[in-house]
Amino acid sequence: QGKTMFGYVLGLYDLLDRFTKHYPDVFLQTCASGGGRFDMGMLYYSSQIQGSDTSDAVDRSFNLYSTSFGYPLAVLGSHVFSNDSTSVATRMAIAFFGTYGFEFNPDRLSEEDRDEIKKAETVYSAYHLDCIQNGDLY
C-alpha cells in the first residue's frame, strides 16, 4: 500500500510540474481533501492550500488553528462560504486567518450581509497584508 501512495505522489508532482510549466500564469490552489496532499511539496506548485473541503466556519477554525503550527497563515486557504449556520461576520472573522476569499453568489446576500462585508473589507485592507501575508504568528 505504501508503494501505491508513493507512486501516486510522484505522479501528482509530475502532473503539477507539467501543468505549471505549460500554464505559468494560472493561479493554482490545492486542497488536502482533493488529492490528500497538504505538504511542502504541494507548496512548490501552489501558493495556497485548503486544509479541508469542509465549508463550516467553526469546523475550519480548528483546522486553521492546528495547521498554523506548521505552515504560515499566508498559505492557508480560508474562504467565506454561503452554506453555513453562522453569521457572515463570524465566517469572515475566521476567514481572515488565512488567504481570505469568498465562495458564494453575492447576488444572494442580504443588505445586512453586504454591510458586514464592507466593514470587513476595511479591516482586511488595513491589516491583512502586514498581519497575515507578512506577519509572524506566535
Q: How far is Cα of residue 3 from the mean position of the Cα atoms in its chain?
A: 29
What grid cell was written down for 108? Answer: 444572494
pTM, full prediction? 0.81
User: How far, in Å, CA of 9 to CA of 13, rounded?
Assistant: 6
Domain boundaries, the chain: 1-50, 53-138
Mean pLDDT within 4-25: 93
Q: What is the pLDDT of residues 26-85, one digit of tens each?
A: 999 888 875 567 888 889 999 898 888 888 888 889 988 988 898 889 999 899 988 768
Range in 32-36, 90-94, 97-101, 124-128 the model is least confident about: 32-36
Mapped to the 3 state alphabet, what secondary structure does 26-86 carry?
A: CCCEEECCCCCCCCHHHHHHCCEEECCCCCCHHHHHHHHHHHCCCCCHHHEECEEECCCCC
